[in-house]
Chains A and B, each alone.
Chain A
């Protein structure tokens, strides 16, 4: 039973437009959420995170929104660039826990 779900396997966006990647979770005890980005032949790298006490966190072109009542978070990339083409993983952590639960990933393709 997947506790973190990314229901869109892939997403294609035109360069300069907004990319929105979605993630749903089932465990209300998760208190910290992260996005990782993975290029082919490389390991995932940390992108941005958000604590459950916030509903938004912004870092440059990347913004993560958290809706606790809906158990939903989203990653917005504005404007999208071809170099953003990668697999994006959503991950969640339990309070006091040291391990992450990952979603299946979404492949983002940004077309120039």
Chain B
């Protein structure tokens, strides 16, 4: 089974702190994604990466950055956490190729609270 592991299930941080969310996948997938899930808004794409050291902005990249130094690891960074970044963060991965790239495998999520 594909496993996507997110380092923390719950995280509480203070406004202005730098926050790192880590994600590791074990299936050698090329593509990795960070989404946030908010009630009534569904899943919104923050950043994604097709390959090591490559990244592309999603729909809501403001206030976030990412790092992909190794194929299996994709980190989301909140440079200066704000209360409106309180959310459920979901990491996902997929392999490339027609019919496969859209089939995402998700981690269990990190519920981040910024106080």
Contact = CB atoms under 8 A, between A and B. Distances in A.
Interface residues of B, number: 27
Interface residues of A, number: 25
A104 B42 contact: yes
A44 B45 contact: no
Given A42-B108, A44-B90, A93 B102 contact: yes
Nearest to B103: A46
Interface string A1-37: 0101010010000000000000000000000101010
Interface of A: 2, 4, 6, 9, 32, 34, 36, 41-46, 49, 89, 91, 93, 98-105
Interface of B: 4, 31, 33, 35, 40-45, 48, 50, 58-59, 90, 92, 94, 96, 101-109
